[in-house]
Amino acid sequence: TNALVWLRRDLRLADQPALARAAQTAERLAPVYIHAPAETRPTVGAASCWWLHHSLAALDAELASAGSRLCLDTGPSAERLCHWAQVSDAAVVYCTAIAEPWARQQEAAVAEALAAIGVRLEVLADGLLTDPSAVRNRSGTPYRAFTPFWRSVRAQLDPPRPAPPPALPGLPEAIPEPQPLETLGLLPRIRWDEKLAPCWQPGAAGAQQRLERFLDGAGPAYGERRDFPAQPGTSRLSPHLHFGEISIRAVWHAVRDAQQMQPAAADALDTFLAELGWREFAYHLLWQQPELHRTPIDERFSRFPWREDPDGALLDAWRRGATGIPLVDAGMRELWATGWMHNRVRMVVGSFLVKNLRLPWQHGEAHFRDTLVDWDLASNSMGWQWVSGCGADAAPYFRIFNPVRQGERFDPDGDYVRHWVPEVAGLPKSHIHQPWAAPADARARCGLHLGRDYPEPLVDLATSRKEALAAFHALG
């Protein structure tokens, strides 16, 4: 029999359950990707589409070197998969699950349409180490707090070792020409994306390289260096993991092997594994709250008195990295320039938006969704709810990050700020995180005129903090 593999968020050949199963059973096999943006909820952003374009190109090249090719098409998924199944004379379609609410509906619609033409859909688990719908605490309920979640999950985790890429059966004889990648419209019309290319290598080879570079380099010092945005202390695997360009089981085992080889690095790498645990937890929360990207878990926050920003000037200044707070601006500019932002700084810019500017966190969620190459429904929604104090196990609302203190602590020499905010680069490290408080002669020495070269702070940090706390207490 012939088969299709419906590729989705699993864009790799190695340790790919759907491809492996199909390769075992099918005489001929068509790997199909259907671009169906109207079926995803919420809408996928521009940076993520940029990544997808290049990831599909890399996958096509990988398939070509394995004697196959990627069959690209545009949705509706159910209708197009029926078409591809018919022209391929396929009896089965294999895919891996995406643990997001819209994807479950998509799978159900596809299964029904295929069944109507006598084709079976087989959905295999992938992408996570746990089943987000199945994890339960001792009293049989889902977890709301990370620490007990991870303690219990970690103790039971025993993912299988990753499988190598299978030998792929050839393509069915009568398949049509695939749609050219360029016609999917994944690249933006205004080519702002050219600056992303030097930062990333989408695809399985780039993912593997990131993992190896991390384990050989920053990994053993992850515990101490992961919070310092000027240092390459983290793996930058997030977009690769999101698109399934590397199997989560492969990452898990590579890290566990590194722990065996270098016992001195075991603790640091345990911290890294716990970060993978946060990713698992995000999906567990998303499973509990399908509207995680817009509905606060703590319902009181639906009544939060957000600040009026009628012409959108505050939000706009935040997005552009023009708030006058160097660490916040550095983060927002890093995001715009590279499609990624350091985790510590994501927390700082988030806290500033929601607490100092007192604007709804959903605005931040939407901007990150549009601009992050690693945008992930579960992790981004959890991250914003955490920062805003309205999520499960969130930082309490009254914990308001002070961006000046955060800068002094995590960017002590000011290197990160100097890189992204060159306007203030001439200030000494003692003042780089609060140029408005620098003596006039220190500013004059480096030719910095606040309000002309770099904005005055958009809000006073102490006053806005007090206002935020008052608004929170009024919630009751």
Q: Which of 16, 247, 380, 406 binds ligand FAD (CB under 6 A)?
A: 380
Residue 30: CB atoms within 10 Å: 28
CB of residue 275 to ligand FAD, shortest distance in Å: 4
Indicate whether 279 belongs to the interface with ligand FAD (CB under 6 A).
yes
313: Cα separation from own chain's centroid: 27
To 10 degrees, what angle do helices 343-351 and 403-410 make?
160
182 is catalytic: no
* Candidate residues 88, 96, 130, 235; the one interacting with ligand FAD per rule CB under 6 A: 235
**Phi-psi map region of 202: left, alpha, beta (phi>0 left; psi -120 to 50 alpha):** beta
Does 272 show up as a binding residue in the annotation? yes
Report strand pairing: 90-96 vs 71-74: unpaired
Query: CB of 319 within 8 A of CB of 332?
Result: yes
Q: CA torsion, points 301, 302, 305, 311, in degrees to nearest 10?
A: 120
Query: What's the token pair of residue 339?
Result: 């499609």
Q: Rounded to the nearest whole angstrom, what is the least distance from the CB of residue 340 to ligand FAD in the complex?
A: 7
> Among residues 6, 252, 287, 361, which one is catalytic?
361
The reply on whether position 318 binds ligand FAD by CB under 6 A is no
Residue 124's closest CA among 17, 34, 7, 245? 17
Judged by phi (left if over 0) then psi (alpha if -120 to 50, else beta), residue 206 lies in alpha
Listed residue (446, 472, 276) closest to 388, CA to CA: 472
**Sign of the alpha-carbon dihedral angle for 220, 394, 325, 321:** positive
Among 29, 63, 265, 282, binds ligand FAD (CB under 6 A): 282
Let me know if 278 is a catalytic residue: yes
Whether 397 has a binding-site annotation, put simply, is: no
| Length of the chain measured in residues | 476
The answer to whether residue 236 forms part of the interface with ligand FAD (CB under 6 A) is yes
- Closest-by-Cβ residue to ligand FAD is 383
383 is a site residue for ligand FAD (CB under 6 A):
yes
Active site residue 6: no
**Judged by CB under 6 A, how many residues of this single chain contact ligand FAD?**
27
Q: x/- contact string, 324-343, with ligand FAD (CB under 6 A)?
A: -------------------x
Q: For residues 247 and 379, which CB has a smaller minimum distance to ligand FAD in the complex?
A: 379
Which residue, 6 or 336, has its beta carbon nearer to ligand FAD?
A: 336
Span of 28-36, 304-312, 370-378, 414-422 interacting with ligand FAD by CB under 6 A: 370-378
Among candidate residues 39, 102, 122, 306, the one labeled active-site is 306
- Measure the CA–CA gap between 319 and 321, rounded to whole angstroms: 6
- Active-site residue (options: 79, 122, 275, 408): 275
Does 287 participate in catalysis according to the annotation? no
Binding positions for ligand FAD, rule: CB under 6 A = 226, 234-238, 241-242, 275-276, 278-279, 282, 343, 346-347, 350, 368, 372, 374-376, 379-380, 383-384, 387
Active site (catalytic) residues: 275, 278, 306, 343, 361, 384
